Amino acid sequence: MLSGMDSGQDKLFRDVAQALVANPGASTSEIAETAGVSRATLHRAFGDREALVESVYGWLLDRCDQVFEQASIDEGPIGPAFDRLIDDCYPLAQSYWLLTATPSLEHTADLGDRLREQDQRLEEFFARGQAEGVFRPDLTPRWMSYSFSGQVMSAWYLVEDGYAGEMEVPRLIHEAVFGGLVAKGK
């Protein structure tokens, strides 16, 4: 969906995504107001509210695919790929949050399939890392995937609530994942 999209359309998707993430139950009028556009613009761009939510979630999944591609989680050395994934993971948070707030999206055929494919890619990344001795062998790839996703969501909440800046997210996740929560020597 992102390829071929001009900057105006990209901004519209970004603004509407932020409006939905801020208030998943918002009416079309409220979404338009928060996004700084008219209801007519939203209707022309997306159709009805259900199509709007599905389109925006599809756009967020596109962004997640881009993060996975740029991090090279499907091939190449695990360590650098994991570092890149952590560095660029913040866009994943919006997708995770919107799905949490709108669970029906998971049951939309195309979106649900895409989400399951992304979950599978992340699990396979952790399994490959285990096979190469980078990740702990005593945890399942699914647990590691869910734990990583939980770290991403936690960082997003921290930023949204004003307790951290977006630029701090990679460091916070890196420290939690690699340093753990227990003080050294305890």
State pLDDT tens for residues 139-164: 999 999 999 988 888 888 888 889 99
Domains of the chain: 7-179 (1.10.357.10)
Q: What gap in Å lies between CA 134 and CA 107, rounded to an integer?
A: 34
Q: pLDDT digit string (tens) for 37-71?
A: 999 999 999 999 989 988 988 998 898 899 999 99
Determine the average pLDDT of the residues in 162-180: 87
Average pLDDT over residues 6-14: 82
Residue with structure tokens 């939203």? Answer: 42
Residue 3 has pLDDT above 60, yes or no: no
Closest Cα to residue 160, out of 149, 152, 31? 152
The number of residues making up the chain comes to 186
Contact, 40 vs 18, CB < 8 A? no
Residue among 149, 146, 142 at smallest CA distance from 127: 142
Which pLDDT score, from 0 to 100, does residue 177 have? 85
Hey, is 154 helix, strand or coil? helix
By three-state DSSP, how is residue 6 classified?
A: coil
Angle among Cα 59, 64, 70 to the nearest 5 degrees reads 125
Average pLDDT over residues 158-184: 84
**Residue 185 scores a pLDDT above 80:** no
Tell me which amino acid residue 109 is.
Answer: A
What is the end-to-end Cα distance of the chain in Å, rounded? 49
Q: Is 117 helix (H, G, I), strand (E, B) or coil?
A: helix
For 16-28, how does the pLDDT look when each residue is reduced to its tens digit (9 = 90+)? Answer: 988 888 888 899 9
Residue type, 107: H
pLDDT at 7 over 90: no
| Contact predicate 1/8, CB 8 Å | no
Specify the DSSP class assigned to residue 184: T
pLDDT tens per residue across span 63-101: 889 999 999 999 989 999 999 999 888 777 777 777 677
Other C-beta atoms closer than 10 Å to the C-beta of 138 total 7
Q: Which two tokens stand for residue 23?
A: 């208030």
